[in-house]
Amino acid sequence: MSQTTNQRLSVKLPGLNLKNPIMPASGCFAFGDNRYAEMFDLNELGAIIIKAATLEPRVGNPMPRIAEVPGGVLNAVGLQNPGVEVILKEKLPQLKAKYPNLPVIANVAGTQEADYVETARRLSDSGMVDALELNISCPNVKHGGMQFGTDPASAQALTAAVKKVSSIPVYVKLSPNVTDIVAIAQAVAAGGADGLSMINTLLGMRLDLKTRQPVLANGTGGLSGPAIKPVAVRMIYQVSQKVDLPIIAMGGVSSAADVLEMFLAGASAVAIGTAIFHDPLVFPNVIADLPSKMTEFGIDNLSDLIKEVRSRRNEN
């Protein structure tokens, strides 16, 4: 392999020229303003996806919001965030000041089409964001966009409305809590999405034998971590066979091998969420491990792998 690491790891997606495909998943790295960021250089990342932004500030759900389950984590944070204004005035400028070259993807959430659109417009216009990730899949708030994520027509309409006001590419983040993920993906493609982001959390619950009540104050929560990886791989595989959009893959990734499995499923980039809670250095570790894992499995570079996997699909 005479290629440099950069040549081997770099990937191109709409709006995103990434030196490597690895990024923190939304909600698992705040706005880069967290203590993990003291432990390694964020410039090592391919990009960062920041916590959901809503039009107004949200205080989120009552506590407890987080619980452990076998192979995974349940969370019901409920889109807590300071609102798009504070994000534009404080969070993003701080992030850009510290890491001017780090591509930024902003996760956008809302209740109705109007506030999605307005939040997206402001983020797009700010010039501080490289792409939007439309969160139509938050299971943890009554009106968290899940209604958009489970109905193809609404998903398509919302995507189209956001596309209209956005000058940067729009990735739509899909919910796995649906009967037919391909139908939703096709709908957002028809709505003009530039890419997909999948998957958000599976809706789950844990009950406390002592209180006989749900462990989470919200009742249900979103399941993330290794437990959901097989579902993520299956959905990404299914969608990549039918829909031509690039996919930012996530769901239970915690190693370079997991990253490659996502690429084989059809990913063009990979986000990591829950794994950082266990391994604070998961980002530098995975990025460092990738080249040798690729060599082990005969993978020259990721761009070619993406093409190979995509062309294999089209034959089917």
Partner 1 sequence: MPSVRNFSLVKQERLTEDVFQMELKTTESLSEYQPGRFVMVEIPNGLQQLRRPLAIAAVDLLTGCISLIYRVVGQGTEQLAKLVVGAKVNLLGALGNGFNIQNFQVGDQVLLVGGGTGLPPLMYLAQTLGQQGCLVTTMVGFRTKAQIFGTQVFEQAGQLQLATDDGSAGKLGNVGTLLNAWKMNNCRHVFACGPLGLLKAVQQRFASQSVPVDLSLESRMGCGMGVCAGCMVSVNGGTLNQHICQEGPIFSAAEVQL
Ligand X SMILES: Cc1cc2nc3c(=O)[nH]c(=O)nc-3n(C[C@H](O)[C@H](O)[C@H](O)COP(=O)(O)OP(=O)(O)OC[C@H]3O[C@@H](n4cnc5c(N)ncnc54)[C@H](O)[C@@H]3O)c2cc1C
Ligand Y SMILES: Cc1cc2nc3c(=O)[nH]c(=O)nc-3n(C[C@H](O)[C@H](O)[C@H](O)COP(=O)(O)O)c2cc1C
Binding residues for ligand X, rule: CB under 6 A, are: 208, 210
Which CB atom, from 50 or from 233, has the smaller least distance to its own copies? 233
What's the one-letter identity of residue 8? R
Which CB atom, from 28 or from 55, has the smaller least distance to ligand Y? 28
**CA–CA distance, 290 with 294 (Å, rounded to integer):** 6
Stretch that binds its own copies, among 40-48, 53-61, 128-136, 223-231 (CB under 8 A): 223-231
Stretch that binds its own copies, among 11-19, 99-107, 128-136, 202-210 (CB under 8 A): 202-210
Q: Which residue has the tokens 């028809």?
A: 190
239 three-state secondary structure? helix
307 binds, among ligand X, ligand Y, partner 1, none (CB under 5 to 8 A by kind): none
Q: Does 223 participate in binding its own copies (rule CB under 8 A)?
A: yes
CB of 208 to ligand X, least distance (A): 6
**CA–CA distance, 11 with 304 (Å, rounded to integer):** 9
CB of 244 to ligand X, least distance (A): 31
Output the CA–CA distances (angstroms, integers) from residue 105 to 67, 173, 283, in the order listed. Answer: 27, 12, 17
**CA–CA distance, 285 with 232 (Å, rounded to integer):** 22
Strand partners, 270: 22, 249
Sign of CA dihedral 278, 284, 285, 287: positive
Of the residues 234, 242, 310, 313, which one makes contact with its own copies according to CB under 8 A: 234
C-alpha dihedral over 59, 85, 169, 255, to 10 degrees? Answer: -40
Stretch that binds partner 1, among 34-42, 154-162, 172-180, 182-190 (CB under 8 A): 34-42
Q: Are 262 and 256 in contact (CB under 8 A)?
A: no
Please indicate if the annotation marks 141 as binding a ligand. no
What amino acid positions are annotated as catalytic residues? 138
Site residues (vs partner 1, CB under 8 A): 27-30, 33-36, 38-39, 59-60, 62-68, 70-73, 75, 77, 80, 225-226, 274, 276-281
Site residues (vs its own copies, CB under 8 A): 69-72, 74, 150, 177-180, 202-207, 209-210, 212, 214, 219-220, 223, 226-231, 233-234, 237, 252, 257, 260-261, 264-265, 297, 309
